[in-house]
């Protein structure tokens, strides 16, 4: 099990490699990546499609296991955990936000948020409190009874963020959270993530090609062909990520 209350970086990746295929068909999606993420940091991994940023995010969130290397959360290597313990860690300490929202279509916004807590064994009273509170935080308390098809894309992504926040995560990982949204809506989601990082102190790691979102981060690391090539505190509007 992972212990809490450890000092030092919240997340530490060491020489991560993720290879797919065998023999002559081997493809390296992540090549020797090392990364340290401070507690409360808002970090953006910037890269074009095919750069390996989604694969890297999956490794950092325990959704995939590396071919080699290690990922330490609060000082302990979770790549060595059993599948059951890894699932428990993800459910209780990590929050995930995906480009496609991942909402269950027959459930209301409230029910989508509440379900993740039910799976964690949270009491009914506490589930209700957290679901209502997080929907309020993302500005959707009035839309709690609406199902996904009754919500705009931006509202659906806000529900997904509320669902991630409801588990009270130490680490929030977001994969292209503005990718399916128009420019204005994407900008509002980017500002919401920045607000969450600032006001709640949650560590956030975002994989994106969105330069506006990158411009709000504490730190930006650029990924090209599975390896980091550049780091900058802020990314200017004229900057274009390298890569495929």
Residue 135: both structure tokens together: 């929907």
The CATH fold of domain 11-230: Rossmann fold (3.40.50)
Rounded to whole angstroms, the Cα distance separating 93 from 168 reads 7
* pLDDT higher than 50, residue 243: no
pLDDT computed for residue 122 by the predictor: 92
Residue 206: both structure tokens together: 């975002």
Q: State the pTM of this model.
A: 0.86
Residue 52's φ and ψ, nearest 5 degrees, are: 100, 5
The runs of H, that is alpha helices, within the chain are: 53-60, 83-93, 109-119, 124-137, 153-166, 183-200, 211-214
Residue 167, C-beta contacts closer than 8 angstroms, at least 6 positions apart: 91, 92, 94, 95, 116, 117, 120
- Summarize pLDDT for 124-147 with one digit per residue, the tens: 999 999 999 999 999 999 999 999
Domain chopping of the chain, boundaries: 11-230
Residue 198, C-beta contacts closer than 8 angstroms, at least 6 positions apart: 42
- Summarize pLDDT for 152-209 with one digit per residue, the tens: 999 999 999 999 999 999 999 999 999 888 899 999 999 999 999 999 989 999 999 9
- Summarize pLDDT for 37-87 with one digit per residue, the tens: 999 999 999 999 889 999 999 999 999 999 999 999 999 899 999 999 999
């Amino acid at each position: 099990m992972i212990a809490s209350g450890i000092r030092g970086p919240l997340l530490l990746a060491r020489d991560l490699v993720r290879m797919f295929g065998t023999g002559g068909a081997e493809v390296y999606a992540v090549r020797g990546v090392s990364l340290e993420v401070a507690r409360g940091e808002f970090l953006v991994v910037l890269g074009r499609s095919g750069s390996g940023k989604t694969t890297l995010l999956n490794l950092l969130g325990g959704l995939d296991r590396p071919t080699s290397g290690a990922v330490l959360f609060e000082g302990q290597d979770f790549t060595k955990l059993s599948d059951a313990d890894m699932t428990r860690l993800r459910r209780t300490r990590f929050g995930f936000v995906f480009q496609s929202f991942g909402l269950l279509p027959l459930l209301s916004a409230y029910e989508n948020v509440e379900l993740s807590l039910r799976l964690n064994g949270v009491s009914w009273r506490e589930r209700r409190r957290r679901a209502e509170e997080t929907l309020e935080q993302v500005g959707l308390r009035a839309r709690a009874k609406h199902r996904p098809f009754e919500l705009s894309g931006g509202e659906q992504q806000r529900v997904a963020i509320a669902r991630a926040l409801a588990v009270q995560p130490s680490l929030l990982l977001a994969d292209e959270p503005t990718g399916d949204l128009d420019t204005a809506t994407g900008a509002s989601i980017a500002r919401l993530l920045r607000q969450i990082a600032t006001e709640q102190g949650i560590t956030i790691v975002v994989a994106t090609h969105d330069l506006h979102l990158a411009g709000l981060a504490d730190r930006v690391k650029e990924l090209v062909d599975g390896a980091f090539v550049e780091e900058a505190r802020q990314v200017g509007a004229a900057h274009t990520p390298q890569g495929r």
